[in-house]
Structure 1
Amino acid sequence: MYSFKNDYSEGAHPQILNALIETNMVQEEGYGEDHYSLQAAELLKEKMGRSDVAIHFLTGGTQTNLTAISAFLRPHHAAIAAITGHINVHETGAIEATGHKVLTVNSGKDGKLTPAGIQEVLDAHPDEHMVKPKLVYISDTTENGAVYTKNEVEQLSTFCKENYLYFYMDGARLGSALTSSANDLDLSDLPNLVDVFYVGGTKNGALLGEALVICNDALKEDFRFYMKQKGAMLAKGRLTGIQFLELFRDNLFFDLAAHANAMATKISEGIDAAGYGFLTPPVSNQIFPILPNTLLEELHQQFNFFDWEKVDDEHTAVRLVTSWATKEEAVDAFVESLKKKVTE
């Protein structure tokens, strides 16, 4: 049974595994002070065209979000996120567990935040009797597979600056976003638009690892202390450094993401040809087709995927996720199953 449940079912790209094996017996400093991690950080800075950013390697998305957000906020501060945002629905209250409330915005089917939606939250929290909104959280891609345009990020950036809000981008699937046909952002744009973002490796070919990029000077001080306190400072920091060095030494990071998107596009085209629609337009490696419940019963016997949202009594929106390792023959088999049902 082939899985379209997520983009981290497989281990890691062979190039990364080979690099880990080849460097395995080399003695290195710990806690991210090894020369692989230092070199990877410099390489990322070069790719972004910014030598002044601070880069820290952590192991996973939730760990990165809770470590960073709790480090940047004072005790009475809160984060603002889409109601579908990862920190609100898929992190077991990790941000709240650090003492910071997550204030939500009803962001619609695409899961995007807008200045107008954020303004409503600010208006509802006017004084010291409530938490103070201080950080705006978005993810690119969103939880619903949408991609932010450069203009949308610029508008959010301007709004955050005008309202003294930190602007934070979750980049767990940033590779998919930046290689999407709907995208017009470059990696080098992000340090100029957001205060903090991270580049996700776990969901794009690495065994594990996220590269947190702190662009705002005011947020850089003592961050390694916060990492250590939250259990986010890996003793064998070389493991993440080596992986990001391999991902960005050439074009591997973007090649892997482009493959995931291409496989999702092929599935989407097959679903469209079969006459089925989508909950949100398919533009990334997460797609959300609306399928008859009778068809789902058959598909679940051949493929693993999530039933996402009930649309009506007879139809359900499902989530299909492709990855750097998705096999084209598995995509073809899924599309063929749809065609077979239509012709019956």
Structure 2
Amino acid sequence: MPSTSLRQDDACPPYSLMDDYSEGAHPQILEALLRTNSTQQVTYGNDEYSICARQLLRNKIGCAEDEADIFFVPSGTSANLISIASCLRPYEAVITLDSGHIACKEAGAIEATGHKLILVPAVDGKMTPTNLQKALQQNQFYPHMAKPRLLYISNASETGTVYTKRELSNLSAICKQSNLLLFMDGARIGTAICSRKNDLTLREIFDMTDIFWIGGTKAGALMGEAIVVKKDLADGFVFHLKQHGALLAKGRILGVQFMELFRSDLFFTLATHANEMAQKISTSFEELGYRLAAETETNQVFVILPQQLVRSLQDRFRFYVWEQLDNGDSVIRLVTSWATDEQEIDRFNAWVQQWTVATNI
């Protein structure tokens, strides 16, 4: 068992590494909301802050106003649901990874709109050209099968991996050849762009996709996501926002937050911090001889641990047990955020190290 010197941690409340939205919002965002609070503004996203935020986002992407429209919505599920529902006919289907957020974590929201999900196995958390081509070939018996019309991917992926320029370019080429729309879930696009593995720019993502969104909820905002829609798909998009309850009367609340995130490099600074904290955990595990279940490329760490260590850590930290393995070990997921306290990461690493030494693992 660990030495008695570690038991001083028992008095500490469990520190959460469950997700990247347990904290509220970055202080600069709260200050901006307070500073602008008493001004009267036009409603439903036509306020000066939302207009400014859209322009700042276009500047960061490198696109012009006549190339794309930008819409703010309160949540990731609404971003996915509205984006997909806006551009599919009733008989058209979505190709997604079996680990995709819309397949596993959104309570059948896409299916509830009447659109079939075609599930494809993930490779390192990502879609591959081979698996995409196979899915297309297996779903061509028209009109007896739902017609594939849109490819859904997320960057970073559900296991924290990122798409390279070559990978995204290959998928984009297949989509164009096959008359598929390419849609990117960007809940964690900040950590993807700031990953050491990343070689994509926001402009390149814009060029290779038809719709993508930039997540604020997991990047230091109170809430909110920004959907970037190419002009040829943007007509009537606002009606879908309204029908799905995502056109906020006080749209300024979202606009102010994105204005603050993108008027400087705050969005990228916060994402970089989250990635660095995850890498610090990951490096410590590897140095101690533990095996990662996925390479740590962004702010999610997936590691295989003995059950005894998992139970010991659960007394002091909160995290997801992602998978139980046949040999009794567990894959756990640790997620860092813009607000992760480096001292808590040091405490976490110290506990793992001392437990490992004490138990001779």
Could you tell me the TM-score, scaled by structure 2's length? 0.94
Q: Distance in 2 between matches of 1:322 and 1:82?
A: 24
Alignment-mate amino acid for residue 148 of structure 1: Y
> Secondary structure, in 3 states, of the residue corresponding to 2:126?
coil
Say whether 1:131 aligns with 2:146. yes
Alignment-mate amino acid for residue 237 of structure 1: G
List gaps (5 residues or longer) in structure 2: 1-13
Deviation readout 1:203-262 (Å, 9 max, x if unpaired): 0000000000012x3311100011000111011000000000000001000000000000
Q: Distance in 1 between matches of 2:138 and 2:172?
A: 21
Alignment-mate amino acid for residue 39 of structure 1: C
Q: Distance in 1 between matches of 2:232 and 2:207?
A: 15
Q: Distance in 1 between matches of 2:162 and 2:139?
A: 29
The residue number in structure 1 matching 2:351 is 337
**Paired residue for 1:269, among 283, 291, 294?**
283
Say whether 1:161 aligns with 2:176. yes
The residue number in structure 1 matching 2:126 is 112
The residue number in structure 2 matching 1:234 is 248
How far 1:312 moved relative to its partner? Answer: 2.9
Q: Distance in 1 between matches of 2:300 and 2:248?
A: 30
Say whether 1:33 aligns with 2:46. yes
How far 1:313 moved relative to its partner? Answer: 2.5
Q: Distance in 1 between matches of 2:332 and 2:48?
A: 44
Alignment-mate amino acid for residue 211 of structure 2: V
Say whether 1:145 aligns with 2:156. no
The residue number in structure 2 matching 1:296 is 310
Q: Distance in 2 between matches of 1:312 and 1:328?
A: 34
**Paired residue for 2:32, among 7, 13, 19?**
19
Q: Distance in 2 between matches of 1:46 and 1:273?
A: 41
The residue number in structure 1 matching 2:60 is 47
Deviation readout 1:33-75 (Å, 9 max, x if unpaired): 0010011101111111111211000011001100110111000
Larger radius of gyration: 2
> Secondary structure, in 3 states, of the residue corresponding to 2:292?
coil
Q: Distance in 1 between matches of 2:325 and 2:304?
A: 8
The residue number in structure 2 matching 1:56 is 71
The worse-fitting range, judged by mean Cα deviation, of 292-301 and 182-191 is 182-191
> Secondary structure, in 3 states, of the residue corresponding to 1:255?
helix
How far 1:341 moved relative to its partner? Answer: 1.1
**Paired residue for 1:220, among 198, 213, 234?**
234
Say whether 1:310 aligns with 2:321. no
The residue number in structure 1 matching 2:192 is 177
Could you tell me the TM-score, scaled by structure 1's length? 0.98
Say whether 1:255 aligns with 2:269. yes
Alignment-mate amino acid for residue 262 of structure 1: E
Say whether 1:202 aligns with 2:217. yes
Alignment-mate amino acid for residue 197 of structure 2: A
Q: Distance in 2 between matches of 1:177 and 1:251?
A: 15
Moved over 2 A (4+): 311-314
How far 1:102 moved relative to its partner? Answer: 0.9
Q: Distance in 2 between matches of 1:120 and 1:112?
A: 15
Aligned sequence identity (%): 48
How far 1:76 moved relative to its partner? Answer: 0.2
Say whether 1:3 aligns with 2:16. yes
> Secondary structure, in 3 states, of the residue corresponding to 1:31?
coil
